[in-house]
Amino acid sequence: MTWEEYEKKLEPFGISTKDKEFLKKVFVFSSKIHEGEKRLSGDDYISHPVAVSLKLAELKMDANTIASGLLHDAVERSPEALKQIRKQFGEEVAFLVDSVTKIAKIQAAGIDRALESVKKMFLALAEDVRVVVVKLADRAHNMETLEWLPKEKQERIARETLSLYASLAERLGMWNIKAQLEDLSMKFLYPKEYEMISSEVKKRAPERERYLKRILSIMEAELRKENIRNFEINYRAKHIYSIWQKLERYEGDWSRLSDLIALRVIVPDVKNCYSVLGIIHKLWRPVPGKFRDYIALPKPNGYQSLHTSVFTEPRVIVEFQIRTPDMHKEAETGIAAHWAYTEAGKPKKGFKAVGKKFNWIGQLQNWQKEFQKEKPTAEELLEALKIDFFKDRIFTLTPKGDVIDLPRGSTPLDFAYHIHSEIGNRASGSRVNGKLVPFTWELNSGDVVEIIMQKNKKPTPEWLAVVRTALAKNRIRKALRLSPKKSFITIEAKLVEARIYGKNRVGFIKDITSVFARSRVNIQNLISARSGNEEAPINLTFVARSKEELEKIIKKLQAVPGVKKVNYSLK
Ligand code: MN
């Protein structure tokens, strides 16, 4: 690629002549370093730094950050490059490039690798948010070209992208990058679901779009009548991954997805936002409980807008988002928007530019200042941060060392279904850190989980009460051929933990287990009293399909000769 070709690609982003001169020097320098080097796709290597820098230009980052995009892989290629970069392009570019290079250097494998990259990203964030923005642009382009990598690598990278990079993009309010990262990861991790949803969207979107165009022209006429000037109305389809997540919540019922496409009204100021809201509610009846004022109460990632859904016809719901141009820009690019327009035309450094909106980054930086010298481990850092970033997630491992991240409270069956439906469906047992455990076992971060499979194994309805994630529930339901309406078991069924006290005589356990066998209820896990301790209770867990069934079983257990007391709790 020549400078002229690159310059042409920079055209849409309105870069000043002075910055262009600077970027030309950087481009020539980087091209020289990567000369002769190829990507796995067969393209010249420089195509990658160029693509990353263009993403940064699109985010309207400052020239130094765009330059860092061009140079982000230079030091890896040629270690002496950093000195030259500092001499030719200044301390700030050298700092950014060095920081990005350091994040990339992770030697560990498996769980340590995952924790290490989380730690490095957080520390970089505290130092200068732009480092992470470059990393996100780098990852976005690597995901776009992921098909060229070997299969095992694809999966690991896609998982890391979904659990770490997309979450970070979300926290930084970078909606566009987040959507890209999620859709690309989903395509590699859940290809069937991706195919299914995108073809369904393709089928449904045109009709929806035609309808929205009609609504749009009604809106336009009304806004003119009400003397609102300089407005812009557009619409945009939701991304595939977010539709999938919604569908999981709605148990696969497409008719409940009212917001495949949302209409956006952009007006010059906040006062007009509320006027537009009034006009919409005058035209159509609002859906109760759907109005959100994110202008008065912004989301933690800084997002601001008014949201409302209205019935444009009986049973037809349309979602509106109302915002100012500034809010719009921030909604698209998040934290990156704060570098776009600066007072003296000079980019502000680090998170100072971010203001009060990204409170958690401020917390992160204060914390880092205080504890820098103590060199905390990744776990200590995550523990101490108390920002709820990964509060509800755990990282678990396959025996091969791939990281599977799951919500807290997940079980081996969640783990199995997250890897593949077939692994879940054929699961007959599970080992955690080499030890056999029941399916009800609660996983922890760092656990190595192995699923034992049997060829003709099938899921049972009880599993629905054991698993925690919507993905696993959905896949079990599918395997059982339960329609969403018939899966009452998810609401009624409860996992029960029982403790049975009594004299542990010969045949005691057999009598207890036969209570379950006669009631056709499977015991999920049984820990019997240690021999020699007659007072220790028998602990067991089972799934009761209804309250009546639970009461019946407890009564029968109490009637077993020798039983003194039965305690139980619902999980
Ligand atoms: Mn790269």
Q: What is the pLDDT of residues 427-470, one digit of tens each?
A: 999 999 889 999 989 998 778 899 999 988 889 888 988 898 87
Tokens 């924790």 -> residue? 115
Give the residue among 186, 190, 164, 166 at the shortest CA–CA distance from 178.
166
Residue type, 8: K
Which of 53-67, 360-374, 473-487 ranks highest by mean pLDDT?
Answer: 53-67
What spacing in Å lies between the alpha carbon of 58 and ligand 1's midpoint?
17
The answer to whether residues 120 and 98 touch, using CB atoms and an 8 Å cutoff, is no
In this structure, of 135-139, 225-229, 258-262, 316-320, the range with the lowest mean pLDDT score is 258-262
Contacts for 38-44: CB closer than 8 Å, 24+ residues apart: 39/145, 39/148, 40/145, 40/148, 40/149, 41/145, 41/148, 44/1
Please measure the distance between the N-terminal and C-terminal CA atoms of the chain and give it in whole angstroms.
61
pLDDT category at 120 given cuts 50, 70, 90 is: confident
Backbone angles phi, psi at 526, to 5 degrees: -135, 125
CB–CB of 520/532 below 8 Å?
A: no
pLDDT at 395 over 60: yes
Q: What is the pLDDT of residue 232?
A: 93
194 — pLDDT class (breaks 50, 70, 90):
very high
The pLDDT value recorded for residue 105 is 78
DSSP state of 165: I
Q: What is the mean pLDDT of residues 533-561?
A: 85
- Cα–ligand 1 centroid distance for 48 (angstroms): 7
What is the spatial distance between Cα 530 and Cα 363, in angstroms, rounded to a whole number?
A: 49
Measure 72 CA to ligand 1 centroid, in angstroms: 6
Residue 346 clears pLDDT 60, i.e. is over it:
no
Give domain 494-570's CATH superfamily: ACT domain (3.30.70.260)
Q: How far is the CA of 472 from the centre of ligand 1 (A)?
A: 34
40 alpha carbon – ligand 1 mean position (Å)? 13
Spacing, Cα 493 to ligand 1 middle (Å) = 49
Range name among 1-5, 294-298, 321-325 with the lowest pLDDT average: 294-298
Whether 271 has a pLDDT exceeding 90, the answer reads: yes
What is the reported pLDDT for 352? 47
Query: In which order are the strands placed within the sheet that holds 449-453?
Result: 435-437, 427-432, 449-453
Dihedral sign (CA 86, 91, 97, 101):
positive
Q: Which two tokens stand for residue 61?
A: 């980052």
CA of 73 to the centre of ligand 1 (A): 5
Which is it for strands 261-266 and 316-323: parallel, antiparallel or unpaired? parallel
Please give the pLDDT value at position 4. 95
Task: Give the span between the Cα atoms of 382 and 260, in whole angstroms.
Answer: 36
CB-based contact 185:162 (threshold 8 Å): yes
Distance 427 CA to ligand 1 centre (A): 39
User: How far does the centroid of ligand 1 lie from the alpha carbon of residue 74, in Å?
Assistant: 9
Confidence band, pLDDT 50/70/90 cuts, at residue 350: very low
Give distance in angstroms: CA of 87 to centre of ligand 1: 22
Query: Can you tell me the mean pLDDT for 189-214?
Result: 88
157 in Cβ contact with 146 (< 8 Å): yes
**CA 381–ligand 1 middle distance (angstroms):** 26
CATH fold of 193-333 reads: Beta Polymerase; domain 2 (3.30.460)
More confident: 321 or 465: 321
CATH of domain 359-482: 3.10.20.30
Judge contact between 497 and 558, C-beta under 8 A: no
Say which residue, 45 or 350, is predicted with more confidence.
45
Residues 6+ apart with CB under 8 A from 445: 111, 394, 395, 396
* pLDDT category of residue 52 using cuts at 50, 70 and 90: very high
pLDDT at res. 5:
95
Q: Which residue has the higher pLDDT, 233 or 521?
A: 233
Question: Distance (Å, rounded) from C-alpha 49 to C-alpha 74?
Answer: 9
- What SS3 class is residue 564? strand
CA 104–ligand 1 middle distance (angstroms): 9
Domain 3-189: give its CATH architecture.
Orthogonal Bundle (1.10)
pLDDT at 376: 61
Higher pLDDT, 211 or 111: 211
Q: How much is the pLDDT for 360?
A: 64
Q: What is the mean pLDDT of residues 136-151?
A: 94
Instruction: Look at strands 538-544 and 523-527 and give their pairing.
Output: antiparallel
Closest by Cα among 317, 198, 327 to 263: 317
Separation of 145 CA from ligand 1 center, angstroms?
11
Q: In the chain, what's the furthest Cα-to-Cα distance?
A: 91
Give the count of beta carbons closer than 10 Å to the beta carbon of residue 103: 20
Instruction: Assess whether pLDDT exceeds 60 at residue 354.
Output: no
- Mean pLDDT for the chain? 83
Angle (CA) 84-88-91 rounded to 5° is 85
Top pLDDT among 369 and 6 is at 6
The pLDDT assigned to 137 comes to 96
DSSP string, 419-440: H-HHHHHTEEEEEETTEEE-TT
SS3 496: strand
CA distances in angstroms from 564 to 511, 514, 557, 569, listed in the order given: 14, 18, 10, 17
CA of 123 to the centre of ligand 1 (A): 19
d(CA 44, CA 254) in angstroms, rounded, equals 44
CA 132, CA 129: separation in Å to the nearest integer?
5
Q: Is the pLDDT of residue 349 over 50?
A: no
Q: What is the distance in A from the centroid of ligand 1 to the CA of 7?
A: 20
Q: What is the pLDDT of residue 344?
A: 41
Give 30: exposed, middle or buried? Use CB within 10 Å, 0-12, 13-18, 19+: buried
pLDDT at 297: 84
As separate numbers, helices (DSSP H) first and strands (DSSP E) second, the chain gives 25, 15
Res. 417: pLDDT tops 60: yes
**Which range has the worst mean pLDDT, 43-52, 399-408, 428-437?**
399-408
Instruction: Say yes or no to pLDDT of 374 above 50.
Output: yes
pLDDT exceeds cutoff 80 at 31: yes
* DSSP-based three-state secondary structure for 81: helix
Report the C-alpha gap between 137 and 177 in whole angstroms.
Answer: 8
267: three-class secondary structure by DSSP:
coil
pLDDT exceeds 90 at position 25? yes
Beta partners for 265?
233, 322
Alpha helix (H) residue ranges in 429-546: 463-466, 470-480, 489-492, 508-518
What is the whole-number distance in angstroms between the Cα of residue 347 and the centre of ligand 1? 24
The average pLDDT across 290-307 equals 86
The C-alpha atoms of residue 464 and residue 468 are separated, in whole angstroms, by: 8
CA 418 vs CA 65, 404, 410, 424: distances in Å: 37, 8, 11, 8
d(CA 536, CA 529): 5
* CA 92–ligand 1 middle distance (angstroms): 19
The predicted structure's pLDDT at residue 378? 59
Q: Domain coordinates of the chain in residue numbers? A: 3-189, 193-333, 359-482, 494-570
Q: Could you tell me which of 261, 341, 271, 260 has the C-alpha nearest to residue 306?
A: 271
Ligand 1 mean position to 543 CA, how many Å?
49
Alpha-carbon gap, residue 405 to 393, rounded angstroms? 7
Position with higher pLDDT, 140 vs 343: 140
Map tokens 């009212």 to a residue: 258
Q: Report the DSSP beta bridge partners of residue 502.
A: 563
Q: Is the pLDDT of residue 68 over 90?
A: yes
Residue 89's pLDDT is 96
